[in-house]
Amino acid sequence: MTPVDTSTRSWLARALPRVLGAAGVVLVLGIALGEAAKHGAVPFDRAVTRDLSDLGRSHSTLRVAMEVVTFFGSTAWLTGVVLVTTIASIARRAVAQAVRLVLCTGVGAALATVLKVIVDRPRPPTSYALVHATGLSFPSGHAMNSTVVYGALMLLFVAPTAGRSRAAVAVATAVAVALIALSRLVLGVHYLTDVVGGLVLGTTWLALIRPVMEPDARESDG
């Protein structure tokens, strides 16, 4: 049995103000970016999405590759990654680590959902789409949630280590997230500003929440 002990509850109480403040910043920034995208960049956005989706439509290998890549930014996959990592952390009695991961990724996903509803931007025309996609367009959930989940894993498991491996993993993670974002354009289900907004907002959330993700000398797991 690995209950959330007193030290972890104390850490949560200390972290809550920072989490709420970071969420507020991301919401304000997201609304501003979303409104700018909706009203200021539609012609350019349409051209980029149309041209890239035409490329995917013309090259079946590229389309299949982008369908595979986009899966690794899907809600089902990212939820599974977080769930498995959380269970593994609890099994190792790293309860605070599990709580950090769930807090960072859960609030990040909630922010993406709330911003979609507030900004209320429709997706590109269905004639552009190479795959079925539902819901609203800004920010791209694939881009934002991938940034948050893979970034959180970096902060928890890779950032504390030293050496070249950390830099290599960081670069590989950034490339993977960028490819996931690109896949949404090639598949014709998002505008450029949707995926750029998702990347910016996910990165901003991670930057603001990073102090919460770092180990606290006053806590102890298990």
Q: Is residue 221 part of a domain?
A: no
Q: Is residue 73 part of a domain?
A: yes
Q: Is residue 116 part of a domain?
A: yes
Residues 6+ apart with CB under 8 A from 198: 112, 139, 140, 141, 142, 143, 144, 145, 147, 181
> Considering its fold, how many domains does the chain have in total?
1
Q: Is residue 140 part of a domain?
A: yes
Q: Is residue 209 part of a domain?
A: yes
| 5: confidence class by pLDDT, cuts 50, 70, 90 | low
CA 205-209-212 angle, to 5 degrees, is 165
| 2: confidence class by pLDDT, cuts 50, 70, 90 | very low
Q: Is residue 220 part of a domain?
A: no
Residue 162, judged by CB atoms within 10 A of its CB (0-12, 13-18, 19+), counts as exposed
Residue 219 pLDDT > 50, yes or no? no
- Structural domain boundaries enclosing 103: 6-213
Structure tokens at 48: 């980029």
Q: How far is CA 141 from CA 12, 70, 81, in A?
A: 26, 11, 16
Residue 94 burial (CB count, 10 A): 18
> The whole model's pTM is what?
0.87
Q: Is residue 218 part of a domain?
A: no
Q: Is residue 52 part of a domain?
A: yes
